[in-house]
Amino acid sequence: MKSSPIKKFISLMKFRRAFIDWVPAALMRYAITRRPEPVRLRMRPRGALWMRPKYDLVAMSELFVAESYGELFPAAPPKRVWDIGGNIGCFAIWLLRRHPGTRITSFEPCAETYELLAQNQAEWRGEPWEIRPYGLADRDQEVQAFVPCDSYGQTSRHATTGIATQLPLRNIAGVWDEEGRPSIDLLKIDCEGDEYEILQAMPDGLWASAENIILEIHPRPDKHPDDLKKLLKGRGFTVRAGRVNPELWLASRTAG
């Protein structure tokens, strides 16, 4: 279904608010064909975003145009964040523009995407943003995955068609130990179906430090979102789904 003129106008204003190079950014969204080579878009008030118009448009639009994370984001700025499923860094950049100085660690297992993530981290040099070339899971392993629908942001080992790639995954409990068992007050999880295993394998200490979890739910024939909701409630969280994206959840600590 085509966008109405009013919706297109609102989108253009959001592009203009986020990007100095808002004209090429907006044109990419409505282009019939899109180039696979990375382009650099200057942002306001500083920094830049490297993205592949053919492959990363969904990630860019979700954060900077649809603003689906904005409606769910906790009122109190987080001090330390684990960005599990970092992709090209759109969430981290969105967060740094909103709350400069937030300590962020992004985990991204897809080598092609990690290369662009590293370029984006370099654009935000000076911020306490670190990146890791692997994903998190319930155990150490390397899995075959596919990039469906020309969107690297949807790279998943649960997909069956698309561009084939290998993903290195590491046990979340082991990584938390290796990182010095830090207190992570916000977990962002967008792992195309692996959210079930990640949450089940989280160590008690990490659960205890987390005040908020933002996660995107993905359908799987062998899992049900109600199981995640039960797990989160059992750990003392209340769960709220977004309006812009109902598959995006905010789990917050129950008061008292």
Instruction: Note if the bond before 53 is cis, omega within 30 degrees.
Output: no
Asked whether residue 30 is domain-assigned, the answer is no
Pairing of strands 163-171, 48-51: unpaired
Q: What is the pLDDT of residues 67-122, one digit of tens each?
A: 899 999 988 899 999 999 999 999 999 999 999 999 999 999 999 999 999 999 99
Nearest to 215 by CA among 172, 253, 248, 245: 248
Asked whether residue 208 is domain-assigned, the answer is yes
Q: Which two tokens stand for residue 250?
A: 């905010």
Average pLDDT of the segment spanning 165-179: 96
Q: How many residues would you count in the chain?
A: 256
Structure confidence at residue 256 (pLDDT): 39
Note whether 143 and 167 are within 8 A (CB): yes
Structure confidence at residue 93 (pLDDT): 97
162: pLDDT confidence band, cut at 50, 70 and 90?
confident
pLDDT at 42 over 90: yes
Asked whether residue 193 is domain-assigned, the answer is yes
145: pLDDT confidence band, cut at 50, 70 and 90?
confident
Domain that holds residue 129: 55-253
Positive/negative CA dihedral, 180, 183, 187, 193: positive
2: pLDDT confidence band, cut at 50, 70 and 90?
low
Determine the straight-line distance between the first and last CA of the chain, rounded to whole angstroms: 45
Structure confidence at residue 254 (pLDDT): 62
Domain total for the chain? 1
Q: What is the pLDDT of residues 181-237, one digit of tens each?
A: 999 999 999 998 899 999 999 999 999 999 999 999 988 888 899 999 999 999 999
Structure confidence at residue 40 (pLDDT): 97
What is residue 39's three-state secondary structure?
A: strand
Asked whether residue 120 is domain-assigned, the answer is yes
Asked whether residue 40 is domain-assigned, the answer is no
Please give the Cα distance from 225 to 214 (Å, whole number).
14
Note whether 106 and 130 are within 8 A (CB): yes
- Provide the CATH number for the domain around residue 206: 3.40.50.150
Asked whether residue 61 is domain-assigned, the answer is yes
Please state, rounded to an integer, the average pLDDT across all residues of the chain. 91
Asked whether residue 59 is domain-assigned, the answer is yes
